Structure 1
Amino acid sequence: HQTLLHARHDLWSAPGLGGPCGATHRALLAGHRGIASLVHATGHSPESISEHLEQLRELGLVTRCGRAVQKVASAMAAAAARLGVTGVVEARRRLYTAESLMWEWWQRELAWRRAPRLRKPIRAEHPTPLLRGRFPTKADGRADFAGALGRLLASLSRASALEAA
């Protein structure tokens, strides 16, 4: 669980860092010291490890002697803020959720459109209020995927704000 939390931190979404640098940091947190040990733990080249250590030092995640700092969570949060990537993972999660909901909504709309006129299912039966009713359409009657995604993202943002309050 801790490995997953570490790997999906906003910090590793910053350009130039990514998973390999995160793996080096995790290896340091696991107690690996020195280039050879880190190479063995991560499978990265010595040059990559040296580059990662330098990046981690610049971000305040590693001390001069090559050890991970004690207050890891706050150091990672500060580094993410400094690089301007705070909230990236949450924004991705919200977008993926909205895209999944939009796909479900569109599939329900297609099923409704394709059903025989006498056996059309009731639209208001979906448990998620936003997914009830017709899928948004443009003036020409074609599906408005951008509009649907916008409505879903706005709804998810409102729900997140209500949960935080």
Structure 2
Amino acid sequence: MKLKVLKPFRIAGKEYHSGTVELDDSVAARLIEQGLAERAEEAPESFDDAVDISEVLPRSGSGEGTQYSIESLVGQPIKVISAAFDKGRSGRLEGKSIATVQIETLDGDRGWFSTWSGPMIDQLKQLQELNAFPVKCKIEERRGSSGYRYYILASAKVQARESDEQR
């Protein structure tokens, strides 16, 4: 029987750590019963039998609704509904944190944006730990001492006071 290894095991002095392995049916049944392996699924017979990738993998770096650029949201009141965190997988961003942020605009449009901004990601993680979502806020653009650009979440109330002063 063909098995997919779930947890490392040793049989007759040979160690199995990952992948698939062909073993005697009685041994395979014992490993399945112990939760060390599961029956390996056979490859689909035809193209139409194969599952679509969208049914298996989540859409990385995407949310529901309209995709926004973070620049288009700077200074605008938004409601942050949730955030999901991941790591970059290639190039200069490999291993760097990324957040996909689900939002609602003042107009009621639901959408999302992605950010690599470390300070904003730290804020989003704190909000998630505090179970504080949803929160009203605005996005501010800042410049570091060496001139690099980053973003933070700020109070939406501050903008309301500023607009009152301009009247």
Q: Does the TM-score normalized on the shorter chain lie above 0.5?
A: no
Query: Which structure has the greater CA radius of gyration?
Result: 2
Q: Which has the higher helix share?
A: 1
TM-score, L = length of structure 2 = 0.24
Q: Which has the higher strand share?
A: 2
